[in-house]
Amino acid sequence: MAARRALWVLALVSAAIAAGAGVWLLRTFDPNVAGSPFPPCMFRQFTGLFCIGCGLTRALHALVHGDIAGAFAMNPLAMLMLPLMPLMAAWGQGWQPRVLRPLMTVVMEPKLWLVVLPVYWVARNLPWFPFTLLAPG
């Protein structure tokens, strides 16, 4: 039990350090300018299409600078998922408050993501309004 708790604390500390470094990088460097240390999307470079994660670095850059609308314009699904991911991780580790049960029952279902992710991927590459709103700005 103590070893599991120590591993959990180590994971949280590691995540906090990685998040802090990520925030520092995103506040310091602009992924929108030439010479940025952030790599471009390889899928986009090879295919010319947007992947599920396209615009995520720019969205996080906008988010750490307080531009919530700009972040949503770059990757709306990722911005909607951002607050859910820590909850999903905690739920998977056994923290399961009753009040979250209806939401987590839906979002923890793999079948949901097997539909949502491909549909989002295709929809953000369609060249018609309103699908063009899903493409990174």
Per residue, what are the HEC states of the chain?
A: CHHHHHHHHHHHHHHHHHHHHHHHHHHHCCCCCCCCCCCCCHHHHHHCCCCCCCCHHHHHHHHHCCCHHHHHHHCHHHHHHCCHHHHHHHHHCCCCCHHHHHHHHHHCCHHHHHHHHHHHHHHCCCCCCCHHHHCCC
Residue 51's pLDDT is 94
What are the residue ranges spanned by the domains of the chain?
40-134
What is the per-residue pLDDT across 20-58, written as a single tens digit (0 to 9) for each? 999 999 999 999 898 899 998 899 999 999 999 999 999
If pLDDT is split at 50, 70 and 90, which confidence band does 2 have? Answer: confident
What is the per-residue pLDDT across 79-125, written as a single tens digit (0 to 9) for each? 999 999 999 988 988 899 999 999 999 999 999 999 999 999 999 99
pTM (predicted TM-score): 0.85
pLDDT of 12 > 90? The answer is no
